[in-house]
Amino acid sequence: MKEYVRSSNKSLRHTAVIVVAAGAGTRLGYGIPKALVQLNGRSLLEHALDNIAESSNIDQVIVVLPPDDTELTRRCKAHRVNPHIVDGGATRNDSVQAGLSCLAPQTQAVLIHDAARCLTPGTVFDAVAQTLASGAKAVIPVLPVIDTIKSVAREPIGDYFYVNGTPARESLRAVQTPQGFHAPTLISAHEQATGWDAERAGRITDDAMLLEMLGERVTTIRGCDEALKITTPMDLIIAQAILAQTPMSQSETETTEHEDFMSQPQKQSNTAASPVLIPRIGIGIDIHAVADRSEPREMWLAGLHFPEDHGLSGHSDGDAVAHAACDALFSAAGIGDLGTHFGTDRPEYAGASGITLLAEAARLVRAAGFEIGNVAVQFVGRRPKFAARRLEADAVLSKAAGAPITVTATTSDGLGYEGTGDGVTAYATALVYSVAK
């Protein structure tokens, strides 16, 4: 495969990139905007901006964020590319249009990039921009499809979807971003699509498809294997593995268009073997008694307030679920326990909320060189009644930790202090993995 080599001459066309980072990240399951999810201690958005900064062809960077997201806004403003920030809309199409409205008047070329493809190198941005400069109206990076793809019926028959056909793999390509466009052409296309009905507009999955539907020719260039779209937890693991690779020297990786890789003798790499990502698992247990009725305590559990129940005793707010999650994280990372970091000898944590402690625990774990895979917590107790608020608890805890946290609840069948309602227990397990240095 031919490697991209950055041109020493910047295109004379004014080129902007719009980074779409307004997605909720529902499938990723972290309970926070996808662009804020951490990879090697930096958000996906920051990784994307890092790579854009390596391009020699970008004059303006526009980032489309979820409205009122102060943390992503803060990180953007601190980045060296100094992006213009704009609020996104309800759909991806709305977000792209919001970005287009911020283009500098002299912009001739615009690249649309998904923050979820945060490992796309700057060389791809250069290649797209330079292809536009050669006269193309629309340019997309693509990769050959290696899987057999089946077309299936839109509606199932009974419990099953049946195959309609198998398209020829030779003509299929997997599309990546950034997608590049002649700016006036893309702006005009979005203006034309504004009046389309929901069914027609809903078929558009990217900006290149919009131009296709309007009869414009779309040019393809070779994409990059590393430019995967991070959508699921498994994608994060793959991205972590990519970052852990020791890069080979250019002389070892570079080939020409005329080389047939399979016919050439294989070169022996002098790089060390890539590190294996070995997960670490920790266990945490937290027990709290129900406070004496004479003590004015509010019930906080899993980051939620239960006003109908009397609270739990403790140095902080007594949130056994959040505390067990903290302990499991500390155990997995090997950096002590709850008492080590938030003990009674730390007056600043007196009365602190479990959410505050969990957010700090996650920060300490990351500072120790780990990323969080997930945390699972089992709550055992008679009160509070938890089932109806389980999903709410998952979202609150996941947002605090910046990682997926799930909570389940059960009773002790009337046995022990949990059964009598005199106390609660929470058991947690956490998975972390070392971040490559």
For 189, other C-beta atoms within 10 Å of its C-beta total 19
User: How high is the pLDDT of residue 340?
Assistant: 87
Q: Residues 210, 258: contact at Cβ < 8 Å? A: no
Residue 189, token pair as written in the block = 């296309």
**Is residue 267 scored above 70 in pLDDT?**
no
**Is residue 29 scored above 80 in pLDDT?**
no
**Is residue 433 scored above 90 in pLDDT?**
no
Domain residue spans in the chain?
A: 15-147+168-254, 279-434
Q: Region 2-11: what's the mean pLDDT?
A: 43
User: How high is the pLDDT of residue 129?
Assistant: 95
CA distances from 198 to 75, 191, 203, 246 (A): 35, 15, 9, 47
Nearest-CA neighbor of 140 among 112, 121, 163, 104?
A: 112
SS3 content of the chain, % helix, strand, coil (to 5): 35, 25, 45
Percent above pLDDT 90 for the chain? 49
User: How high is the pLDDT of residue 25?
Assistant: 67
**Alpha-carbon gap, residue 224 to 176, rounded angstroms:** 8
pLDDT in tens, 36-64: 888 877 889 999 999 999 998 999 999 99
Q: What secondary structure letter does DSSP report for 291?
A: P
**Is residue 424 scored above 80 in pLDDT?**
yes
Q: Where are the alpha helices (DSSP H) in 35-91?
A: 44-53, 70-78
β-bridge partners, 163: 152
Question: Which residue type is seen at 16?
Answer: A
Least confident interval from 60-64, 92-96, 138-142: 92-96
CA distances from 61 to 8, 79, 107, 437 (A): 21, 11, 12, 29
**Alpha-carbon gap, residue 100 to 17, rounded angstroms:** 10
Cis peptide before 156 (omega within 30 of 0): no
CA distances from 188 to 96, 184, 207 (A): 13, 6, 12
Confidence of residue 283 (pLDDT cuts 50, 70, 90): very high
**Is residue 31 scored above 80 in pLDDT?**
no
Q: Is 182 helix (H, G, I), strand (E, B) or coil?
A: strand
For 111, other C-beta atoms within 10 Å of its C-beta total 26
Q: What secondary structure letter does DSSP report for 59?
A: S
Nearest-CA neighbor of 338 among 291, 383, 387, 288?
A: 288
Whether 15-147+168-254 shares its CATH topology with 279-434 is answered no
Nearest-CA neighbor of 378 among 325, 319, 309?
A: 325
Q: Where are the alpha helices (DSSP H) in 194-274?
A: 198-202, 207-213, 233-244, 250-253
Classify domain 279-434 at the CATH class level.
alpha beta
Strands 42-43 and 60-65, sheet pairing: unpaired
**Is residue 12 scored above 70 in pLDDT?**
no
CA dihedral 333, 338, 343, 349 (to 10 degrees): 100
Q: Which residue has the tokens 């020829």?
A: 168
Classify domain 15-147+168-254 at the CATH class level.
alpha beta
pLDDT in tens, 312-344: 887 778 899 999 999 999 999 999 988 888 877
Strands 370-380 and 423-434, sheet pairing: antiparallel
Cis peptide before 384 (omega within 30 of 0): yes
Q: Region 213-234: what's the mean pLDDT?
A: 92
Q: Region 224-249: what's the mean pLDDT?
A: 80
